[in-house]
Amino acid sequence: MTDRQNPSDVGPSLVGWSALVTGGGSGIGLGCARRLAADGASVTLCGRSEVRLKGATEAVAEVAAAGASVHALPTDVTDEAQVRAVVDAAAGVTGRLDAVVISAGGSETIGPLTQTDADAWRRTLELNTTGAMLTIKAAGAVMAAQGGGAIVAVSSIASAVTHRWYGAYGVSKAALDHLCKLAADEMGASGVRVNSVLPGLTRTDLVETITQPGPALDDYLACTPLGRVGEVDDVAALVRFLVGPEATWITGQTIAVDGGHTLRRGPDLSSLLEPVFGEDGLRGVVPD
């Protein structure tokens, strides 16, 4: 274990740390980047959209503490060469790579499995699972060589409780959780910790339709013991803890940050999808 990974030597500040956040242009990724920068880490953001990254860089720079720097690189996380380049860039800021947050993800499928587009299914798995593998592959090699580091992947409660009609999303996130466990087991001997977090319904642009008042939101809240929608800062606080020196004996875990939603069941989105696929479609009947 390196000194940087020893909580008695490091303390709560991340001053002098270098962090990489994939999918850092918006939503949870941006929230995590802001939190890490506020605690003093130099943050490298990556994402597909140059426009979003420009705004994100400015937002992170506003909260950066203790001289922390902010960098942004457009990156397709499914392209191994691009992933290696952004990992090298992040490590080059301070000469090491202390923390990686894997937040790049999404879905191109929604609706009944019997009507799922196979190519959209493959692209979703490629983004959520293969993109994470490539990031862990490149970042893990750097961290193992330097003697330690922490990786946290943003998964979803859809990996833990079935979300009907979510298509490849929950499946790919379940694979992501297992990937993190595998990486933690393999690289623990090199001082590299790997965990995943499972956000519940969190207020971002991506789920704006669901967080609007209506039956879908009502059902989410009925499934959530704490009875509210999550905020990006709720997730960022857990990620910050897991990558930080306070969590040096935590690895290979999947931790829900969901208001207790996973104690119950997945959400009922039939009110949103039945108008599109019909009642019969939602139970698997394919139109003639």
6 pLDDT more than 80: no
Query: When comparing pLDDT for 8 and 82, which is higher?
Result: 82
* Cα–Cα distance, 101 to 29 (Å, whole number): 8
pLDDT-derived band at 249, boundaries 50, 70, 90: very high
User: Of 143, 41, 60, 150, nearest to 102 (Cα)?
Assistant: 150
- How confident is the model over 109-115, as a mean pLDDT? 97
User: Of 72, 76, 51, 48, nearest to 60 (Cα)?
Assistant: 72
* Cα–Cα distance, 74 to 81 (Å, whole number): 13
* Cα–Cα distance, 136 to 175 (Å, whole number): 14
Asked if 171 and 123 count as a contact pair (C-beta separation under 8 A), the reply is no
Residue holding tokens 């995943």?
196
- How confident is the model over 186-210, as a mean pLDDT? 97
User: Of 173, 145, 144, 151, nearest to 160 (Cα)?
Assistant: 173
Q: How many CA atoms lie within 13 A of 40 on its CB side?
A: 10
The region that residue 16 occupies, defined by phi over 0 for left and psi between -120 and 50 for alpha, beta otherwise, is left
Query: Annotated catalytic residue: which of 17, 121, 166, 169?
Result: 169
Q: What confidence score (pLDDT) does residue 51 get?
A: 86
24 pLDDT more than 50: yes
Q: What confidence score (pLDDT) does residue 288 get?
A: 84
186 pLDDT more than 50: yes
**What is the share, in percent, of the chain residues with pLDDT greater than 90?**
93
Asked if 2 and 191 count as a contact pair (C-beta separation under 8 A), the reply is yes
Pairing between strand 192-199 and 254-257? parallel
Dump strand ranges (E) for the chain.
18-22, 42-47, 70-74, 99-102, 149-154, 192-199, 254-257
| Average pLDDT in the chain | 95
- How confident is the model over 255-282, as a mean pLDDT? 97
Q: What confidence score (pLDDT) does residue 5 get?
A: 45
pLDDT-derived band at 66, boundaries 50, 70, 90: confident
Q: What confidence score (pLDDT) does residue 11 get?
A: 44
User: Of 120, 100, 119, nearest to 110 (Cα)?
Assistant: 120
Q: Is 220 a catalytic residue?
A: no
Query: When comparing pLDDT for 227 and 5, which is higher?
Result: 227
3-state secondary structure 108-133: CCCCCHHHCCHHHHHHHHHHHHHHHH
47-51 LR contacts (CB < 8 Å, sep 24+): 47/22, 47/23, 47/72, 47/74, 47/75, 47/104, 48/74, 48/75, 48/76, 49/25, 49/74, 50/74
In the chain, the domains with their CATH numbers are 3-205+231-263 (3.40.50.720)
In the structure encoding, which two tokens stand for residue 262, read together? 């996973």
- How confident is the model over 205-231, as a mean pLDDT? 97
2 pLDDT more than 50: no
Count CB-CB contacts under 10 A for residue 243. Answer: 27
